[in-house]
Structure 1
Amino acid sequence: MAQPQAQALEATGRPSIDGSELEKAKQAQHVETDAVSTFEDPVEAKKIIRKIDFRLIPLLMFLYTLTFLDRVNIGNARLWNLEKDLHMTGYDYNIVVLVFYIPYILLEIPSNIILNHVTPRYWIGFLTLGWGLSVTFAGFSKSFGGLLASRIFIGVFEAGMFPGCLFLIGSWYRRHELLTRMAWFMVSNDIAGSISGLLGAGLGSLNGLRGYSGWSWIFFVEGAVTCCAAVLAFFYLPPFPEDAQFLKPEEKEWVIRRLKLDEQRRKDNEKMTIGGVIRCIINWKILTSGVLYLAVCVTAYSLSVFQPTVLKTFGWSSLKSNLLTTPVRVVSGIISVCVGIWSDKVQRRGIFCVVGFSISIMGNLLVMLLKNGNLRYMGFYFASIGIYICQPLVIAWCTNQIVGTTKRGTLTAFAISCGQVGGIISAVVFPSKDGPQYVPGISTCIAFQAVGIMAAVNMWACAAWENRQRDMGKRDSRRQLSQDEQDKLGELHPDFRYTL
């Protein structure tokens, strides 16, 4: 039988394969299948996920800690003669805080498009070096205009960092593994907030050393550390799963296969384009992500940038005001990660989002209405805990509701762009003249959090309704489409279920 088969193959113009070669090919395929199937064992699967975790999350956490630290250190620098040295008056400080967000908002989506077409370590390493140099040179500012220019460049380079990291994380994990990783990643906010207060106190105390004020030393040291971090990003940041070299071939195949199964008919090797991004933005889930993250960031940025200033109105010194921002961020970070793990375990998002916004509203009311400094300080704990529960949650929740590289890249960039509008709002609603209660600013935070609750309830209700329709078979007509058309349905496929 082997000879006729070989003759038949030769007749078709294809090379003949003898029995031994065919058997070897079958054995190789069998070995590969066995290697992939071993990872279905929970213990083996966990090892691969941990391997990805350790390679990806700590480095991104470190980079984002520096991102946030370099963004909000202006609040600490203000307490060390910044305005006096640069002859800033009136709203000058608020303008310096605000101008950062303009390039940040405009360049986030273009940055994710670039990231989708190049190796992540090249692009993110370049961005890290760019903003690190900008922060360093900010310490040499001699005028309000010089500081303003440096803040613009910080915004230009930081624009791609946050959405790029979230885009990369979202590419590696299944939907109900995502929030835990995003919560760990965004704990960088709390690490940065904690370190910022300590560094603000420590570096600011170098005031006068070599003729530079304390605010200059804050910028010098933090900017130099960021430049060094760019080298780490360039050499060690992993690529997207399809290009991963730190995994064995069978491990990479297993990771890609489980991602496809999780997202139901995910389109492979999809690249972001301007036209694709424009089409995605009108998706109601992506629009809702923008509203939710805007609601989060008005309060998050207010706490980060203006908390030391508010604490100083309690009659506390600059040193004490900087130091006492640290415990608030530590507690909120721990609780944020715990809630993220809990949410992934029960595969629910909406209830945690609503509760988080509600806790933060209560904390803001305490800060705004009470007179006693210690009780108002307690209010900062509630405000921070609630809002930092919501920050990773809303991004993970909205990412869970979509399928495809273009939608995921558009969502992370669009949501974060909307969040930076919250940074602009926070920059203008906390003028010094409103102290010590800062009623207009805190009222603005509460109003946006109320909007966040409404958006979360809307997402929750719409997702639950659509899941019921699919459970009743009312979307099964889509199964009559061709396989290629079904592959392009994404979250519209009748097998897909939205996260509640």
Structure 2
Amino acid sequence: MANNTEAETFDDGAIEKQTIDHAETASVFEEDAAEAHRVLRKIDLRLIPIVLMLYTLTFLDRVNIGNAAVWNLETDLHMKGYDYNIVVLVFYIPYILLEIPSNMIINRVQPRYWIGFLALGWGLSVTFAGFSKSMGGLGCLFLIGSWYRREELIVRLAWFMVSNDVAGVLSGLLGAGLGSLNGTGGYSGWCWIFWVEGAMTCVAAIVALFFLPSFPEESTFLTPEEKAWYLRRLKRDDNNREGEQQKMELRGVLRSLRDWKVLTSGVLYLSVCVTAYSLSVFQPAVLTSFGWSSLKSNLLTAPVRAVSGIISVLVALWSDKVRRRGVFCLAGFLISIMGMLFVMLFTNGNLRYMGFYFASFGIYICQPLVIGWCVNQVIGYTKRGTVTAFAVSCGQIGGIISALVFPSKNAPQYVPGISTCIGFQVLGILAVLNMWWWCRWENKQRDAGKRDHLRSLSAEEQEKLGELHPDFRYML
């Protein structure tokens, strides 16, 4: 307390006293694990439920076309041949083109306004799609990655990605329930699916407009003491984190796109999404090809996604605890390949349905891991924002591929589509092995002191090294 009294003798004593008090409070947080846990829990409760709700509903809207297809969508809109596949495909094109620009915008606009605006626009689009009379009528990862240290990130991303599984469960149940309204008011079941699920997304978007938090540097729900401690904590994990949020500039994005780790993130997420979107959009149709009714096919997608969601979170907790990523990605791809082979090669409906379990929880183990692993390997807002945007953009190419390789004429085994999924998962395995081997080699070089010559650079130049700094170690 003597230091505080002495500080008060200066003209700017109040400011200096506040700084000293914050430093003392920060040291208390650093020494008290219970206090650190309390602040992290406060952040989790403010951030994760909102983004989980948003992503659940928007993903539900994305995959509900699979449920709508078994409730007279193609018949009412006079669709034939590849028409349904083209409708699924069209969605992904703007997603691919606008993902990086979107991350540049969210870096300049309050996330709650931008994300809320996008969710509201999407919800309205889905709602009005229910009025279609012909075929022609028919950003969150970056924010989460900025709030958590590397060893805390995967489990949060898993909770975010479990939205896919929650949406999968809800999609099956809502598809069955809303589809059963078929004929109500003179409208087919697919119309009710679009109307109700789209309206739910609009409501969630309005909630986000008011309650979604900003980036850590601009947060207002933490006390000044908590915020000061938390920013210091993040900086120790990210040597390139400044006091103020860096803005994503086009020059920095283009420079980041030359980094092999960023490019690898695209290959990895593409490898995941070909299978993930195939399972999400076409699973009801595949189940119907077993000879099962539309209602049964919708309902039986739900338990598959529930199991995969639980397993993905448990694996994420394990991954964060042991600070390893590659081995879990490798296991996920191999398990999913085994499941897809079951679906493609067996003719018994029950065995093929079991294959969907293995295929789903294997690929959904990989989904948060590959994004989090690639974010773990880079430093700075620009490169982190580029990694998440580029990976997600490449993932949507997987959506286009899945839309093209599952035409109904290939039922009931869907050999071309499932073979394509397996081929991309093999590509994912190769990308995992490449990332793991190179990062392990580079860590050994740094442990041996072969990058220590970089310490002779000025402090300012060392700040710009990012993950090239000799103190940085890549996640394996």
The two structures have a TM-score, normalised by structure 1, of 0.92
Alignment partner of 1:485 is 2:475: no
Contact residue 266 and residue 395 of structure 2 kept, 8 A: yes
> Percent identity among equivalent residues?
72
**1:198-237 correspondence runs (5 A):** 198-237=173-212
User: Structure 1, residues 94-142: CA drift from partner, whole Å, max 9, x if none?
Assistant: 0000000111100000000000011001101110110011001000001
Alignment partners' CA distance in 2, 1:393 and 1:27: 43
**Which ranges in structure 1 are unaligned for 5 or more consecutive residues?**
1-16, 148-163
Contact residue 8 and residue 17 of structure 2 kept, 8 A: no
Alignment partners' CA distance in 2, 1:294 and 1:360: 15
- Offset at residue 37 of structure 1 (A): 1.4
Q: Tell me which residue corresponds to 1:181.
A: 156
User: Structure 1, residues 413-442: CA drift from partner, whole Å, max 9, x if none?
Assistant: 000000000000000101111111111110
Judged with a 3 Å threshold, the aligned counterparts in structure 2 of structure 1 residues 89 and 179 are, in CA distance, closer, same or farther, namely: same
Give SS of 1:102's match.
helix
Q: Tell me which residue corresponds to 1:135.
A: 126
Alignment partners' CA distance in 2, 1:333 and 1:291: 23
Give the letter for the 2:344 counterpart.
M
Give SS of 1:324's match.
helix
**1:431-450 correspondence runs (5 A):** 431-450=407-426
**1:2-401 correspondence runs (5 A):** 19=9, 27-40=17-30, 41-147=32-138, 164-268=139-243, 269-401=245-377
**Which ranges in structure 2 are unaligned for 5 or more consecutive residues?**
1-6
Contact residue 341 and residue 355 of structure 2 kept, 8 A: yes
RMSD across aligned C-alpha pairs, in angstroms?
1.3
Contact residue 266 and residue 488 of structure 1 kept, 8 A: no
Alignment partners' CA distance in 2, 1:293 and 1:351: 16
Give the letter for the 2:288 counterpart.
K
- Indicate which of 425, 428, 431 corresponds to 1:455: 431
Give the letter for the 1:48 counterpart.
V
Alignment partners' CA distance in 2, 1:88 and 1:293: 31
Alignment partners' CA distance in 2, 1:197 and 1:308: 8
Alignment partners' CA distance in 1, 2:242 and 2:11: 34
Judged with a 3 Å threshold, the aligned counterparts in structure 2 of structure 1 residues 115 and 23 are, in CA distance, closer, same or farther, namely: closer
- Offset at residue 273 of structure 1 (A): 1.0
Contact residue 148 and residue 234 of structure 2 kept, 8 A: yes
Q: Tell me which residue corresponds to 1:425.
A: 401
After the TM superposition, which of the residue ranges 28-37 and 137-146 deviates more from structure 2?
28-37
Contact residue 169 and residue 305 of structure 2 kept, 8 A: yes
Judged with a 3 Å threshold, the aligned counterparts in structure 2 of structure 1 residues 20 and 255 are, in CA distance, closer, same or farther, namely: closer
Alignment partners' CA distance in 1, 2:56 and 2:16: 49
Give the letter for the 2:167 counterpart.
A
Judged with a 3 Å threshold, the aligned counterparts in structure 2 of structure 1 residues 96 and 475 are, in CA distance, closer, same or farther, namely: same
Give the letter for the 2:219 counterpart.
A
Give the letter for the 1:198 counterpart.
L
Alignment partners' CA distance in 2, 1:28 and 1:187: 41
- Offset at residue 491 of structure 1 (A): 0.1
Contact residue 342 and residue 355 of structure 2 kept, 8 A: yes
Contact residue 314 and residue 436 of structure 1 kept, 8 A: yes
Alignment partner of 1:407 is 2:394: no
Select the structure of larger CA radius of gyration.
1
Give SS of 1:474's match.
coil
Give the letter for the 1:462 counterpart.
W
Give the letter for the 2:220 counterpart.
Q
User: Structure 1, residues 252-274: CA drift from partner, whole Å, max 9, x if none?
Assistant: 11111111101124345311011
The two structures have a TM-score, normalised by structure 2, of 0.97
- Offset at residue 26 of structure 1 (A): 5.8
- Offset at residue 21 of structure 1 (A): 5.9
Q: Tell me which residue corresponds to 1:499.
A: 475
Contact residue 71 and residue 179 of structure 2 kept, 8 A: yes
Give SS of 1:39's match.
helix
Give SS of 2:315's match.
helix
Alignment partners' CA distance in 1, 2:17 and 2:114: 41
User: Structure 1, residues 14-71: CA drift from partner, whole Å, max 9, x if none?
Assistant: xxx9847677666544422221112111100000000000000011000000110011
